[in-house]
């Protein structure tokens, strides 16, 4: 999910401590610029008149060529909310466009304002190693930061970024950008230092670009370009694969993998299609770590917050906010919070048949395979736990109760405890590790990666299959058998795209698809299905509060994780240490009652970002009222029509009450915390703490479940899309409400329940499943889709991570049959193991010294070697200690 443009607060909350500018003269034009010349080879300069009014001149240079990449600048102190200018080489020319970023989404072309760019040819070139773009930016100075650069009387903080990876389509000025992993940063510039009496002379060097490039006063969707946009060929060129399936599942995320495995377990033939590539090392990700060649960065729990520091995470380039485009979806790139839902999360707004009493059995099936845990490190030691020590005492002094959230998921008021993580045996867990290996043992299951499902092929109410786009741009149609089913599991921000492309959704969005640039061929308009796809999207907004501690608190620097020392490396090889834990250190939950009678819940996620400092991320969760709407643009990217955050006065009242309470708690005589006030504030109030927030990227409700005609409802209680015979949705899109905690666990619970309901429908294909020969699995394909689904393995992929010689014996995925019309036996899955430098071929009959010997979910030896005794540390972990 390779995402084009990631705007994280850590990266682009530009700081005043940024590098300051220097002056330089461009040799080719003679223009004197003030800007930055970075060690990476990126260069950015500005020139303005002595009395700035509307225009400036800028030059962007970056060490990228026609091989691919892009470079850009921000006309303001943040990449979010300020116009961006991006440029890249294409066939010896430079393409550029104005963009406007509003979050994690790929920034769309800016279509408001009167900004234009005119190229200065003498300063614009493309060669074998770099490109340069020098231009006059007219109407680019403004009093409105959303329309242009606002010149500060003191210091402007300017952002920059570039990528050296090829764009998917570099011919269009509206092209989706990829992640800026080649370099990014910020610098301070006094615009008075960029002023020159020669500005008008330099501006006269600019020439208007060719009209074919769309260089208009208000940028067209094509933006400012020296090359015309080439339409994408539609499905008229698609070939039809010669294999058919009982089930085609579109999306190999947390929900899609669960559904696909359960369908395959029933004996039905299943094709699971994932648009991204492998994630965990055992799935074929060959980008292992320099200090451990058995794991990728996605395997390592300690990298949950630092994927962008370690590598280039696979984020989607065409979604309205952050999502994962790789095997496992967002479960492979998130911070591993795994909050078991409380009963109310289902009971309050889910329809009949989906209350907690109805889905609790599905939850137990999930938890048996994928329990989650609160301890992280396999050796039973909680590393870097100072923040918990400080905060637990703070909350205990307020009368709150310490709670094990795995054992007591319904306790969600005035409680705190250790975070619940989707970690097992020192590795990131999830359906990739606990369900996928079981499916890959069956010869009736196939996985295809790097293949994007474009649409469901539909005539009237009947869906015959899916059209996909392969990595090399080919279009292929895969069909289902008679009575077969298509299940969309692409996530709350991508499943709507597939529905729109299938002629399902509001007419306005379908018309955008029909007139857009993606080449999607919709059904005849008479066959369009008018459903409110995207109309009721919800998310958890997150408010960040920092506190100073009166008790000493030592924080762990992220460098200790990104470049671990040998002790940390050795501990990780045993499934232990800092890298076996995610980044949270304490969670709390509470609720407030608003004047309209609502109870609104809050989650607090806490850690220590620096010494003597605690950070709380305060989420508004269950009971939240705000909704937004999601649509699609001409380039096929989903985009917010209305942002879903803080649109309700009830939510504003609720967060105000919660912040008032936190402030009051810190003012108590026994408090060890004091709020760090925002800049310029001395007497902190709740209003000061809620001026800004960020998205939780926990989106639900874009294809809600319920009764047709209700707000946002798209699917029935069997998850079937209204108006279709055999099209289903199984992912966060169908959730009618937000849960009390992070969405990962509840999405997996609902997927278990949905798969069981779909399998119980009349006409479900069922036959005995046939295991692959012992020791083999149907491996993940990373090749572009041919006429038939590929079963060729990704390089060096096996169906399980290597079992370490130094680690404890490891647990296997638990095979818990879903209730289906017929049951079939499934062979045991490969062992899920902690990473190590060297693999071993077999488990020992006894556990060695310091190794794990018991605990919930453990299936290895419970007897220790001579001289050692198995000692219980907690319900989840027992360890061999010296007798």
Beta bridge partners of 881: 869
Final residue belonging to a domain, choices 672, 695, 718: 695
How far apart, in whole angstroms, are the C-alpha atoms of residue 685 and residue 733? 37
Is pLDDT at 2 greater than 50 in this prediction? Answer: no
Q: Given this model, what pLDDT does residue 320 score?
A: 92
Q: Given this model, what pLDDT does residue 788 score?
A: 35
Rounded to the nearest 5°, which phi and psi values hold at 878?
A: -120, 150
For the segment 796-832, what is each residue's pLDDT rounded down to a tens digit?
Answer: 333 333 333 333 333 445 555 555 443 333 333 333 4
Q: Given this model, what pLDDT does residue 80 score?
A: 62
Rounded to the nearest 5°, which phi and psi values hold at 587?
A: -120, 145
Final residue belonging to a domain, choices 695, 725, 740: 695
Q: Given this model, what pLDDT does residue 147 score?
A: 78
DSSP letter string over 197-220? TTHHHHHTT-BPPPGGGT--SSPP
| Residue 358 CB contacts under 8 Å (≥ 6 apart), including other chains | 346, 753
Confidence of residue 15 (pLDDT cuts 50, 70, 90): very low
Number of H helices, E strands in the chain: 16, 40
For the segment 117-167, what is each residue's pLDDT rounded down to a tens digit?
Answer: 999 999 999 999 999 999 999 999 988 877 788 888 888 888 899 998 888
Least confident of 42-46, 82-86, 276-280, 468-472: 82-86
- Is 698 labeled as catalytic in the residue annotation? yes
- State the residue range of the domain holding 552: 386-427+539-572+580-624+638-695
Average pLDDT, the chain: 85
Is pLDDT at 862 greater than 70 in this prediction? Answer: yes
How far apart, in whole angstroms, are the C-alpha atoms of residue 753 and residue 77? 47
Joined tokens for residue 532: 């409110």
Confidence of residue 871 (pLDDT cuts 50, 70, 90): confident
Q: Does residue 333 sit within a domain?
A: no
Least confident of 176-185, 326-335, 428-437, 651-660: 176-185
| Residue 819 CB contacts under 8 Å (≥ 6 apart), including other chains | 361, 756, 759, 760
Q: Given this model, what pLDDT does residue 825 score?
A: 33
User: The domain spanning residue 566 has which CATH number?
Assistant: 3.30.410.10
CB 187 within 8 A of CB 20: yes
Q: Given this model, what pLDDT does residue 815 score?
A: 59
CA dist 819 → 439, 477, 751, 754, 879 (Å): 17, 31, 13, 11, 36
Joined tokens for residue 237: 């060129």
Q: What is the mean pLDDT of residues 367-390?
A: 95
Is pLDDT at 231 greater than 60 in this prediction? Answer: no
Joined tokens for residue 408: 């007591």
Confidence of residue 440 (pLDDT cuts 50, 70, 90): very high
How far apart, in whole angstroms, are the C-alpha atoms of residue 579 and residue 556? 12
pTM recorded for the entire structure: 0.77
Q: Given this model, what pLDDT does residue 72 score?
A: 94
For the segment 325-340, what is each residue's pLDDT rounded down to a tens digit?
Answer: 999 999 999 999 999 9
CB 833 within 8 A of CB 800: yes
User: The domain spanning residue 132 has which CATH number?
Assistant: 2.60.40.1210
Q: Given this model, what pLDDT does residue 531 score?
A: 99
Confidence of residue 239 (pLDDT cuts 50, 70, 90): very high
Q: What is the greatest pairwise CA distance in the chain?
A: 87
- Of 857, 493, 421, 486, residue with least CA distance to 639: 493
For the segment 281-302, what is each residue's pLDDT rounded down to a tens digit?
Answer: 999 999 999 999 999 999 999 9
Final residue belonging to a domain, choices 213, 233, 265: 213
Confidence of residue 574 (pLDDT cuts 50, 70, 90): very high
- Location of structure tokens 């798969």: 755
685, 647, 352, 368 alpha-carbon torsion, rounded to 10°: -60
Confidence of residue 12 (pLDDT cuts 50, 70, 90): very low
Share of the chain above pLDDT 90, in %: 69
Q: Does residue 89 sit within a domain?
A: yes
Is pLDDT at 3 greater than 50 in this prediction? Answer: no
Q: Does residue 731 sit within a domain?
A: no
How far apart, in whole angstroms, are the C-alpha atoms of residue 550 and residue 335? 28
Q: Does residue 719 sit within a domain?
A: no
Query: Total structural domains in the chain?
Result: 3
Is pLDDT at 384 greater than 90 in this prediction? Answer: yes
Q: Counting Cβ atoms within 10 Å, is residue 795 exposed (0-12), middle (13-18) or buried (19+)?
A: exposed
Terminal alpha carbon distance of the chain: 50
How far apart, in whole angstroms, are the C-alpha atoms of residue 698 and residue 742? 7
Q: Does residue 180 sit within a domain?
A: yes
CB 32 within 8 A of CB 25: yes
Q: Does residue 208 sit within a domain?
A: yes
Q: What is the mean pLDDT of residues 475-495?
A: 98
Q: What is the mean pLDDT of residues 57-65?
A: 93
From the list 540, 622, 645, 698, the catalytic residue is 698
Is pLDDT at 393 greater than 80 in this prediction? Answer: yes
Q: Does residue 773 sit within a domain?
A: no
Q: Given this model, what pLDDT does residue 869 score?
A: 84
| Residue 535 CB contacts under 8 Å (≥ 6 apart), including other chains | 506, 629, 630, 711, 712
Is pLDDT at 669 greater than 80 in this prediction? Answer: yes
Least confident of 271-285, 494-508, 649-663, 831-845: 831-845
Confidence of residue 874 (pLDDT cuts 50, 70, 90): low
Confidence of residue 847 (pLDDT cuts 50, 70, 90): confident
Q: What is the mean pLDDT of residues 503-512?
A: 98
For the segment 530-556, what is each residue's pLDDT rounded down to a tens digit?
Answer: 999 999 999 999 999 999 999 999 999
- Of 242, 245, 241, 243, residue with least CA distance to 271: 245
Q: Does residue 139 sit within a domain?
A: yes
């Amino acid at each position: 999910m390779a995402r084009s443009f990631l705007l994280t607060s850590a990266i682009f909350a530009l700081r005043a401590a940024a590098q300051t500018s220097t002056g330089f003269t461009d040799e080719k034009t003679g223009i004197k610029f003030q800007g930055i010349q970075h060690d990476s080879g990126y260069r950015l300069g500005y020139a303005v008149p002595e009395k700035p009014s509307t225009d400036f001149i800028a030059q962007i240079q970056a060490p990228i060529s026609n091989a691919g990449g892009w470079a850009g600048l921000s006309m303001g102190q943040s990449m979010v909310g300020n116009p961006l200018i991006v440029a890249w080489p294409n066939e010896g020319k430079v393409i550029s466009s104005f963009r406007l970023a509003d979050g994690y989404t790929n920034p769309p072309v800016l279509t408001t304002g009167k900004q234009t760019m005119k190229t200065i040819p003498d300063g614009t070139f493309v060669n074998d190693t770099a490109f340069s773009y020098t231009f006059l930016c007219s109407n680019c100075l403004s009093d409105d930061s959303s329309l242009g650069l606002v010149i500060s009387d003191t210091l402007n903080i300017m952002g920059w970024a570039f990528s050296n990876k090829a764009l998917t389509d570099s011919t269009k000025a509206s092209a989706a950008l990829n992640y800026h992993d080649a370099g990014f940063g910020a610098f301070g510039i006094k615009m008075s230092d960029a002023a020159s009496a020669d500005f008008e002379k330099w501006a006269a060097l600019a020439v208007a670009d060719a009209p074919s490039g769309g260089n208009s006063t208000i940028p067209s969707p094509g933006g400012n370009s020296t090359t015309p946009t080439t339409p994408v060929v539609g499905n008229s060129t698609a070939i039809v694969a010669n294999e058919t399936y009982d089930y085609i599942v579109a999306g190999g995320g947390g929900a899609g993998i669960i559904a696909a495995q359960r369908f395959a377990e029933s004996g039905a033939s299943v094709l699971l299609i994932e648009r991204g590539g492998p994630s965990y090392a055992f799935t074929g990700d060959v980008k292992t770590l320099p200090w451990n060649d058995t794991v990728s960065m996605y395997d390592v729990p300690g990298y949950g917050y630092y994927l962008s520091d370690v590598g280039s995470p696979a984020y989607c380039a065409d979604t309205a906010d952050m999502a994962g485009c790789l095997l496992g979806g967002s479960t492979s790139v998130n911070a591993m919070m795994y909050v078991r839902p409380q009963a109310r999360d289902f009971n309050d707004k889910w329809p009949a048949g989906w209350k907690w009493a109805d889905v609790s059995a599905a939850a137990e099936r999930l938890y048996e395979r994928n329990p989650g845990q609160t301890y992280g490190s396999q050796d039973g030691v909680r590393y870097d736990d100072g923040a918990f020590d400080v905060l637990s005492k703070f909350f205990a002094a307020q009368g709150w109760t310490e709670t094990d959230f795995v054992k007591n998921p319904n306790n969600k008021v005035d409680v705190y405890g250790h975070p619940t993580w989707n970690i097992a045996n020192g590795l990131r867990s999830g359906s990739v590790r606990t369900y996928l290996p079981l499916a890959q043992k069956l010869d009736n299951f196939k996985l295809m990666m790097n293949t994007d499902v474009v649409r469901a092929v539909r005539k009237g109410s009947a869906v015959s299959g899916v059209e996909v786009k392969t990595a090399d741009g080919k279009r292929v149609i895969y069909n289902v058998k008679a009575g077969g089913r298509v299940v969309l599991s692409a996530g709350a921000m991508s499943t709507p795209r597939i529905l729109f492309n299938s002629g399902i959704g509001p007419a306005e969005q379908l018309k955008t698809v029909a007139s857009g640039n993606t080449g999607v061929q919709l059904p005849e308009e008479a066959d369009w299905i008018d459903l409110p796809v995207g109309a009721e999207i919800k998310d958890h907004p997150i408010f960040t509060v920092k506190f100073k501690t009166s008790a000493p608190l030592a924080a762990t620097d992220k460098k200790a994780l990104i470049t671990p020392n040998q002790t940390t490396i050795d501990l990780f090889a045993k499934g232990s240490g800092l890298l076996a834990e995610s980044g949270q250190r304490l969670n709390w939950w509470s609720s407030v009652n608003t004047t309209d009678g609502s109870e609104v819940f809050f989650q607090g996620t806490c850690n220590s970002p620096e010494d003597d400092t605690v950070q709380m991320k305060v989420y508004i969760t269950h009971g939240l009222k705000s909704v937004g709407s999601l649509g699609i643009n001409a380039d096929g990217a989903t985009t917010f029509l209305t942002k879903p955050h803080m649109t309700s006065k009830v939510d504003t009242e609720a967060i105000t009450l919660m912040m008032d309470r936190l402030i009051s708690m810190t003012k108590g005589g026994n408090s060890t915390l004091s709020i760090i006030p925002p800049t310029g504030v001395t007497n902190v109030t709740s209003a000061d703490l809620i001026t800004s927030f960020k998205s939780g990227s926990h989106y639900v409700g874009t294809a809600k479940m319920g009764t047709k005609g209700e707000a946002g409802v798209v699917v029935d209680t069997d998850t079937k899309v209204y108006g279709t015979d055999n099209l289903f949705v199984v992912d966060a899109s169908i959730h009618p409400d937000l849960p009390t905690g992070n969405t990962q666990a509840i999405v997996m619970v609902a997927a278990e329940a949905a798969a069981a309901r779909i399998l119980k429908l009349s006409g479900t294909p069922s036959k005995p499943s046939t295991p692959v020969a012992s020791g083999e699995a149907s491996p993940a394909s990373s090749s572009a889709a041919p006429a038939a689904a590929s079963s060729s393995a990704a390089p060096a992929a096996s169906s399980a991570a290597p079992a370490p010689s130094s680690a404890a014996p490891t647990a296997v995925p638990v095979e818990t049959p879903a209730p289906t019309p017929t049951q079939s036996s499934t062979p045991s899955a490969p062992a899920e193991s902690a990473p190590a430098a060297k693999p071993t071929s077999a488990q020992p009959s006894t556990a060695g010294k310091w190794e794990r010997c018991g605990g919930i979910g453990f299936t290895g030896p419970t007897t220790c070697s001579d001289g050692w005794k198995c000692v219980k540390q907690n319900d989840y972990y027992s360890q061999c200690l010296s007798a």
